[in-house]
Amino acid sequence: MKDVFPIRAARWIAVALFLCLATAGVERRVQDFADGRVRCVVEADGGEALALATGFGMNAVLRTLPPPDGPATVTIRHIDPPPFYKRWLGAPAAHGWQSGDEIAVRPDSDGVKLAFRLAHEMSHWLVAKTHPRRPPLWLDEGLAQRIGTQAAAAAGRTEKRGLARTPPDGWEAHAHSLDALTALDIPPDAPDAAGAFYWQAERLVDMLCDRLGCDDFLAYLAILSSPDAPPWQVPLRERWWFNDADFEALARAIAPPSQPTPP
């Protein structure tokens, strides 16, 4: 199997260096959560929108994930949009990054989108903060998507906006099988394929959360985030008694809808 750790590590290091250089001397504000066990240091130049989205995001994360045992601080800031020529060429650009105790998101006038992005990255941060290693990609990203959706819904309710969670257009053409999805080490590069991956990962995590319940899902997450984590199916079979029919149900849940049979 191709070793992708150096690639991911290099990206995280580059992001961290960029953030440190780009934000020297910026004024900050502080928000505390979980009785002070989680502190968010929010850059003042992000404005009230970033501070408000931080609240929606972290509250959504802490409804699913427990806070760290000891105090932990994460710094949250905006990042500049990509250069004009990249936008003109349609080059893909990340909406948010998490690296160590740093989170950066692109500014957006839509508070719902901003809440989603922040909660997504906060999920990555807290999972990494409370476990010895990252869980498998599908689990890490699917959980972040699920929590981001909850934060977006909370932000939408304050604006009296009803939000429907819908799959990305054309995802069916890029859908993965269950085995292929759970074997991925890095997200697909192509936007359409990436959209399908994130949608399917979220659906898979939704199914497991509903089946296991909150406490058992957290136990499952801890098992797959341990240094000697087993293959993802093993604890489901050995501890929660999943059988072949259960895994077939998971595969159907993330698969594109079947085409109607012509008359």
Model's pTM, two decimal places? 0.84
Tell me whether residue 31 is in a domain.
yes
Structural domain tally of the chain?
2
Tell me whether residue 214 is in a domain.
yes
**pLDDT 10s digits, 114-166:** 999 999 999 999 999 999 999 999 999 999 999 999 999 999 988 777 777 88
Q: Which residue has the tokens 């029919």?
A: 245
Least confident of 37-41, 50-54, 140-144, 204-208: 50-54
Q: Note whether 54 and 175 are same-domain residues.
A: no
pLDDT-derived band at 45, boundaries 50, 70, 90: low
- Nearest alpha-carbon partner for 108 in 97, 116, 98: 116
Tell me whether residue 152 is in a domain.
no
Domain termination site, one of 97, 121, 138:
138
Q: Note whether 170 and 239 are same-domain residues.
A: yes
- Nearest alpha-carbon partner for 196 in 210, 184, 208: 184
Domain that holds residue 116: 9-138
Tell me whether residue 157 is in a domain.
no
**What CATH number is attached to the domain comprising 77?**
3.30.2010.30
* Parallel, antiparallel or unpaired: strands 72-78 and 102-105: parallel
